Amino acid sequence: MQDIYVYFENGLFLKGKSFGADGTHIGEVVFNTSMTGYQEIITDPSYAGQFIVFSMPEIGIVGSNTDDMESKKAFCKGLITRHYNKSYSNFRSQESLAKFLKSQNILGITHIDTRSLIKTIRNNGSMMMIASTSICTSKDLKRQLSQSKQIQEINLIPEVSTKTNYVHQNSVFDFNNFKYGSPPKITKKIIAVDFGAKRNILNELVAVGLEPEVIPHNFQANTIVQKYKSGEIKGVFLSNGPGDPLMLKDEVTQIKLLIEAKIPIFGICLGHQLLSIAHGYKTHKLKFGHHGGNHPVKNLQTHTIQITSQNHNYSIPEEIEQIAQITHRNLFDGTIEGIKYKNSPIFSVQYHPEASPGPKESANLFKQFADML
């Protein structure tokens, strides 16, 4: 493994070892607290433009395989770990994590004190960083980083969204037989707007009897409204995705038209945030966001606690309570995790009920959407 040099916008300069692609990448650094599922995390499109610091110190043990891909490719800039395991051992493995990262042009950085780095991010908040296998001085790295855009200035959605319409037909992965399960009888067709949708979200929609037609982010609401009025579709799903939702002005304009048409809508993560903005309530950025598979969320309707998978840097404001019922709250920081709009057939959650990786105990929300339709 060759040397790799890392510089953060707060002035921190580190030297590690590279086990992924060569080159120089710039992005925002966040930390993830999940203990398993590194390939699903790396291939989550919501990490586009970001470096992922794993709190789990050992990475690479189970290699990688095509079944654990959550999108067609990986969109993150790189990953940072305490120790990379060159030797991998799992009967599902097809290649090493290092080989996978190189094929995806993603930096792999190891021999870093991730405990100290995560404390720095926790105290200073998410920040921009640069990592390079060819630039070795802090001065040169700082200069190149200072000339780059902040992540909130970059529209990442066109990169991760589908370019053409398609119908998703796979159901959830059957871990008993290690293959995708047969989809149940389709009862209702829906539109799924792809802002960077994870594959398992679409799988979960199919698993409850829905047939999602996946469409690009730059959709025209009038076409969807016509399909809804004709009975061709029964509702709309708004997916997760990367970046600052306030940048997506055209998408918000189209979502407003869907709201006005009283179409049933379910939103997850970015979709949840865009629905808030479309209703007139702007999002704000959290200090270091929620990234991991161990976040406790309270269901305020059932008074039960769910352990959830999360990946977001933004949150909707408390003022939305004027038009929506708050249904879920994060027990770490009290932020809103779910709402149901009072005068519309619309509900949304900030966390990821489809998991992959993470707990599956919130998957009933997909059935809730199907029942509402």
Percent with pLDDT over 70 in the chain: 100
Torsion sign (Cα): 51, 237, 271, 303 = negative
Mean pLDDT in residue range 187-214: 96
Q: Tokens 């707060």 label which residue? A: 10
**Which residues is 291 bridged to in the sheet?**
311
- pTM here? 0.96
With a cut of 80, say whether residue 174 has pLDDT above it: no
pLDDT tens-digit series, residues 293-318: 999 999 999 999 999 999 999 999 99
Helix H or strand E segment including 276: helix 270-278
Mean pLDDT within 231-257: 98
Residues 275, 324 contacting (CB under 8 angstroms): no
Give me 212's structure tokens. Answer: 């999602």
pLDDT in tens, 114-157: 999 999 999 999 999 999 999 999 999 999 999 999 999 999 99
- Indicate the pairing of strand 3-8 with strand 127-132: antiparallel
pLDDT of the residue at 173: 76
The pair phi, psi for residue 76, each rounded to 5°, is -70, 165
Residues labelled catalytic: 269, 352, 354
Confidence of residue 266 (pLDDT cuts 50, 70, 90): very high
Q: Over pLDDT 90: what percentage of the chain?
A: 93
- The identity of residue 253, as a single letter, is T
Question: Using an 8 Å Cβ cutoff, are 284 and 314 in contact?
Answer: yes
Torsional sign, CA 177, 179, 180, 181? negative
Query: Using CA atoms, how far apart are residues 161 and 287, in angstroms rounded to an integer?
Result: 26
Query: How far is 28 from 26, CA to CA, in rounded Å?
Result: 7
User: With b meaning 16 or more CB within 10 Å and e meaning fewer, what string describes 256-286?
Assistant: bebbebebbbbbbbbbbbbbbbbbebebeee
DSSP state of 143: H
Residue 177: what pLDDT?
Answer: 72
Full set of structural domains in the chain with CATH: 3-150 (3.50.30.20), 157-372 (3.40.50.880)
Does 175 have pLDDT greater than 80? no
